[in-house]
Amino acid sequence: MLAGTAFVAATQWLIVSVVAHRGGPAGLGQISLAQAYVTCLSYVGWLALRNHYVVEQNRHAFSDYLFLRLVFPALLYGGLAFVALTGALGGGGFWATIAAFSALKFVEGFSDLNSGVFQQAHRSHTIAIAAAFRFTATALLFPAVLWAGATVETALLALAVAWLAIYLSFDNRERQALVAMPDDVMSVDPQAVGRRWDLFIVSLPLGVSSAIMILNVYTPRFGIVHLLGADALGHFTAIQYFANFGGKLVAVVCQASLPMLARFASQRSASRFLGLAGALVLFSLLGCLCGWLLIEFAGRALLGMLYGSSFEAVQPLFAAAIPTMFLVFCGSIAAAAATALRLYRTILLAYVGSALLAAGLTYLLVPRLDLFGAFLAVGLAGLLQSAILAAGMLVHWRARGA
């Protein structure tokens, strides 16, 4: 799982690095703003179906999950592209960047759903192999298309086609060997329609919760571009990608621990449940300490190598932001633990509260503390999220007499 996550993070970082070297802070700022819109919407469209599949133990046919992963995101991405085309989200060709990112996330969603199947079947190595294929395709195709003189949007669309080919030739074939589909994906059978509607109703709050959760990360981007401009957003994004990488490592460890957390919850073993959650917190703390040491001693060189010399000056900001990243990681761990307990309403409340706090503090702190204010807003929002979820889990365990 860690290897697969490393390939996913490296793939995203490669795209960002190439864009940063080519367009500087302003170019990176524009593409990161488009990514913020698309990624937030993708969390709604994906409906947290991967987690649902792992936790619910095959209560629904895989064809039901695949239908929702195909139809619902397509509707949302199409709506977002139309809104962007009207100029409501930005001028110029911003709609094209939105559309290209939407195509890439749409294809990525299929692989994400299959990862739930592989995880449940204890085939995490298959996830890593698929991620390695996508990274290789990105490394070979994305820079080459840009070098040939194409736009970033064209390169993203070419990458989406390549990822779709990898999904059809590898991910989907491996999934078919593990899970059969009793009916067609586009079946109009009344029973299939009823099952899929029920699954949609159950999963929609999880998707909305996930989207609100990710707003803690992406809300500052909207505020920064409004308050400080595209160059500042580019510098913020360069640092935030390190935080995203750490967040992905934490998320994949939480994802791998989710079945065990769910088993401890069903066994009413509060001590083992809390012990595992505490171990996840210590894992994230150790990672943050290692990251801080790396940035203190080699931060400028690392930023220059990944993004270009124009990004080296943000090294002090990077070091100061690491403690706020730890608070965000704690919020993610608390959310995984609450998911194992099926505290979906509490999760939604925590996400809403933290998202509102992140948005409010961004506009309050950025004018006073510059870009550090954005990181501080995200960290305090993660702290609030952890507190709400911890209170909800405490009430749950006391109610069960554990």
Residue 90 in 3-state DSSP?
A: coil
Q: Which amino acid is at 246?
A: G
Q: What are the backbone dihedrals phi and psi of residue 94, each rounded to the nearest 5 degrees, phi first?
A: -60, -30
Residue-wise DSSP of 274-288? HHHHHHHHHHHHHHH
Spell out a b/e string for 385-402, using b for 16 or more CB atoms within 10 Å of the CB, else e.
bbbbbbebbeebbeeeee
Q: In whole angstroms, give the CA distance from residue 218 to residue 37.
A: 8
Average pLDDT over residues 20-30: 85
**Which pLDDT value is given to residue 166?**
96
Q: Which helix (H) or strand (E) holds 340?
A: helix 315-340
Number of H helices, E strands in the chain: 13, 0
Is pLDDT of 214 > 60?
yes
Q: In whole angstroms, give the CA distance from residue 121 to residue 229.
A: 47
What's the domain count of the chain? 1
Q: In whole angstroms, give the CA distance from residue 39 to residue 32.
A: 10
**Which pLDDT value is given to residue 91?**
67
What does the angle CA 270 – CA 273 – CA 279 come to, to the nearest 5 degrees? 135
Q: Could you tell me the pLDDT band of residue 257, with boundaries at 50, 70 and 90?
A: confident
- The count of other CB atoms within 10 Å of the CB of residue 64 is 25
Q: Write out the two tokens for 63.
A: 């064809």
Q: Which amino acid is at 295?
A: I
Asked whether 170 and 130 are in contact (CB, 8 A), the reply is: yes
Q: What are the backbone dihedrals phi and psi of residue 282, each rounded to the nearest 5 degrees, phi first?
A: -65, -35
Is pLDDT of 266 > 80?
yes
- The count of other CB atoms within 10 Å of the CB of residue 356 is 16
Is pLDDT of 334 > 90?
yes
Q: Which helix (H) or strand (E) holds 96?
A: helix 94-120
Residue 44 in 3-state DSSP?
A: helix
Is pLDDT of 299 > 80?
yes
Closest CA relative to residue 351, chosen from 181, 189, 210, 191: 210
What does the angle CA 168 – CA 206 – CA 78 come to, to the nearest 5 degrees? 55
What does the angle CA 87 – CA 89 – CA 91 come to, to the nearest 5 degrees? 50
Burial of 121 (0-12, 13-18, 19+ CB in 10 A): middle
Residue 349 in 3-state DSSP?
A: helix
Q: Could you tell me the pLDDT band of residue 92, with boundaries at 50, 70 and 90?
A: low
Treating both helix axes as pointing N-terminal to C-terminal, what angle do 94-120 and 230-266 enclose, rounded to 10 degrees?
20
**Which pLDDT value is given to residue 347?**
86
Q: Give the residue with greater pLDDT, 212 vs 80.
A: 80
Closest CA relative to residue 169, chosen from 115, 198, 133: 133
Could you tell me what percent of the chain has a pLDDT over 90?
43
Average pLDDT over residues 82-92: 78
Domain that holds residue 300: 2-399
Average pLDDT over residues 239-267: 85
Alpha carbon 248 to its chain's center = 7
What pTM was estimated for this model as a whole?
0.79
Q: Write out the two tokens for 247.
A: 């967040």
Q: In whole angstroms, give the CA distance from residue 168 to residue 6.
A: 22
- Tokens 């994305």 correspond to what residue? 142
372: left (phi over 0), alpha (psi -120 to 50) or beta: alpha
Q: Give the residue with greater pLDDT, 267 vs 369.
A: 369
pLDDT tens, position by position, 160-181: 999 999 999 999 999 988 887 7
Summary mean pLDDT of the chain: 88
